């Protein structure tokens, strides 16, 4: 799919007037708008057409929106199709959670705000277009790798020519026997991993590189033995301990006694794609937040002024003035939340002075709903008000991941402790801030601890991408900081503490904060 190629948006509703209104609202997006008046018609369209977004009413005859969503998700072709529900009736949180489990990505309530509908659909249209472009690029990469592999196969009879070809390749070219012993290691492999061919020859490939497969190694080796080839991404470690993501193609030779591996470092590409996705997500949410704030602020100001006048009106008795004052306070609070939301998503193109307590409070306020729904006891202790220079969006991403993970680890409730203190890093003696996030979830299993910051590793089954902590670690390292964690048990309760050190250059901080003090700081949770 080219950037100029239109994508398809399917609108499902049994009322023609509503379909017409959605068509008018979404026409400014410039995409193909397809209408369906029933669930059956919608399914027929989906089977024949590549659909980016399905916009559907919850309440429809024959099949309601939830049942239609189930049918869509059960089909292997539509596993990633975005579904947005529109409901004219009040839905409880249980209804919404049920909808999200069935594959919904968002809800829109009636009456529909045109700008909000347009913005939300536009986000998923852009995501669909970029996904298709990435699939096209991957297909082209696969074609090139296949062509290159075929060239190598054809040159097997000419050992000297094959050796020269492998040596000149910019990719890492590795030949190993079935048991894993390395037979050939070209200059591209030397550059990628840091080991010379004399150091690596004869060693076991998987043990040396600490290879982590996206599937089990047994499954990958079985696929190689049966299909004669395997392709995928691997997580490996170089000689200096660097963690790399490499796109790998494995081909079994004709005799079945050796494997050719072609590897290319895609670590920077994966990081860039994830950063772009996060930036687009924040930008889209910022646009929606701006629209909502614009729609809410003006009437809020008028209502607040009205209550102020009402509260001071001479005809009211004391009880009426009391309730008017309460209403005025609540309106002020809503106005504050609106301003905080706008502040959260407003990003600077240049580094600015960022207050960590204010930024983390901003993250917490955005997560307030899941904190309340899960019955989590939030405890904050900020002994420093220091700030540092940086980009708020990057720093928010760190604590969105850490605080979000802590909340998800306590679905049945628990205690969440946030602490900010001045410190001196024990390793570098640099002054900075120590930020700790501690939860009373199930803890981290020893077998997961080593892989926790590896890309694509997740403990959340299919719900996680496995990139959150990896990206967070990359951002912390960009600020020349460190991120660490420890998990322990005390009195039949598990604790997990993530600690982030960010240097500030401030010369007015106090004594170093050691790991033992971090543990002592969470005793109030127990």
Domains of the chain (ranges; CATH) run 8-134 (3.40.50.2300), 155-265 (3.30.450.20), 270-345 (1.10.287), 352-521 (3.30.565.10)
Q: Measured between alpha carbons, how far is 504 from 424 in angstroms, rounded to an integer?
A: 10
For the entire predicted model, the pTM comes to 0.40
| pLDDT score for 62 | 73
Residue with tokens 């990206």: 471
Residue 25 backbone phi and psi in degrees, to 5: -65, -40
| pLDDT score for 215 | 62
Question: pLDDT (tens digit, 9 = 90+) per residue, 64-121?
Answer: 777 788 788 777 777 678 888 887 666 666 767 777 776 677 788 778 888 888 888 8
Q: What is the mean pLDDT of the chain?
A: 79
**Torsion over CA: 446, 449, 451, 456 (sign):** positive
Question: pLDDT (tens digit, 9 = 90+) per residue, 336-359?
Answer: 666 655 555 555 557 888 899 999
Residue 458 backbone phi and psi in degrees, to 5: -140, 150
Report the range of poorest mean pLDDT among 153-157, 194-198, 237-241.
153-157
Q: In terms of Cα–Cα distance, which of 211, 219, 209 is closest to 185? A: 209
Pairing of strands 104-109, 82-87: parallel
| pLDDT score for 525 | 40
Distances (CA, A) of 45 to 42, 181, 231, 407, 525: 5, 53, 34, 40, 55
What confidence tier does 403 reach under pLDDT thresholds 50, 70, 90?
very high
Question: pLDDT (tens digit, 9 = 90+) per residue, 198-213?
Answer: 888 888 887 787 776 6
Section 145-172 average pLDDT? 66
Left if phi > 0, otherwise alpha if psi is -120 to 50, otherwise beta: which for 378? beta
Pairing of strands 376-382, 414-424: parallel
Q: In terms of Cα–Cα distance, which of 364, 470, 481 is closest to 417? A: 364
Residue with tokens 């605080």: 403
Q: In terms of Cα–Cα distance, which of 403, 423, 521 is closest to 481? A: 423
Q: Measured between alpha carbons, how far is 306 from 302 in angstroms, rounded to an integer?
A: 6
């Amino acid at each position: 799919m080219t950037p100029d190629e239109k994508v398809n948006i399917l609108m499902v509703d049994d009322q023609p007037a509503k379909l017409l209104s959605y068509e008018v609202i979404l026409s400014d997006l410039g995409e193909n708008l397809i209408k369906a008046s029933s669930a059956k018609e919608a399914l027929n369209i989906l089977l024949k057409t590549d659909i980016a977004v399905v916009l559907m009413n919850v309440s429809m005859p024959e099949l309601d929106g939830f049942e239609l969503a189930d049918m869509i998700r059960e089909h292997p072709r539509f596993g990633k199709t975005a579904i947005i529900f529109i409901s004219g009736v009040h839905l409880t949180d249980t209804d919404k959670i049920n909808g999200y489990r069935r594959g919904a990505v968002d809800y829109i309530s009636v009456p529909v705000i045109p700008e909000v509908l347009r913005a939300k659909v536009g986000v998923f249209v852009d995501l669909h277009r970029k996904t298709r472009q990435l699939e096209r690029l991957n297909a082209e990469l696969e074609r090139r790798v296949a062509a290159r592999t075929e060239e190598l196969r054809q040159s097997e009879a000419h050992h000297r020519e094959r050796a020269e070809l492998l040596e000149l390749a910019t990719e890492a070219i590795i030949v190993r026997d079935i048991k894993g012993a390395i037979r050939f290691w070209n200059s591209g492999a030397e550059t990628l991993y840091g080991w010379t061919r004399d150091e690596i020859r004869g060693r076991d490939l998987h043990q040396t590189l600490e290879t982590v497969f996206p599937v089990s190694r047994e499954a990958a080796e079985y696929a190689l033995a049966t299909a004669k080839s395997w392709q995928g991404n691997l997580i490996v470690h170089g000689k200096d301990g660097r963690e790399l993501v490499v796109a790998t193609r494995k081909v079994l030779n004709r005799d079945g006694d050796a494997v050719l591996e072609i590897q290319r470092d895609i670590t920077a590409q994966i990081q860039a794609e994830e950063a772009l996705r996060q930036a687009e997500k924040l930008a889209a949410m910022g646009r929606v937040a701006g629209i909502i704030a614009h729609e809410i602020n003006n009437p809020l100001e008028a209502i607040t002024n009205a209550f102020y006048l009402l509260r001071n009106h001479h005809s009211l008795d004391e009880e009426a003035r009391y309730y008017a004052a309460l209403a005025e306070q609540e309106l002020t609070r809503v106005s504050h939340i609106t301003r905080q939301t706008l502040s959260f998503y407003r990003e600077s193109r240049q580094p600015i002075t960022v207050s960590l307590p204010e930024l983390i409070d901003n993250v917490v306020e955005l997560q307030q709903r899941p904190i309340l729904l899960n019955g989590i006891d939030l405890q904050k202790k900020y002994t420093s008000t220091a700030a540092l220079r940086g980009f708020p969006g990057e720093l928010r991403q760190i604590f969105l991941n850490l605080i979000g993970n802590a909340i998800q680890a306590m679905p049945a409730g628990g205690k969440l402790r946030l602490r900010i203190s001045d410190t001196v890093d024990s390793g570098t003696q640099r002054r900075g801030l120590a930020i700790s996030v501690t939860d009373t979830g199930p803890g981290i299993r020893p077998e997961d601890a080593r892989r926790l910051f590896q890309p694509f590793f997740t403990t959340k089954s299919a719900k996680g991408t496995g990139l959150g902590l990896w990206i967070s670690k990359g951002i912390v390292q960009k600020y020349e900081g460190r991120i660490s964690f420890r998990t322990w048990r005390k009195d039949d309760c598990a604790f997990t503490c993530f600690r982030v050190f960010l240097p500030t250059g401030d010369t007015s901080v106090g004594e170093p904060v050691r790991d033992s003090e971090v543990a002592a700081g969470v005793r109030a949770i127990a």
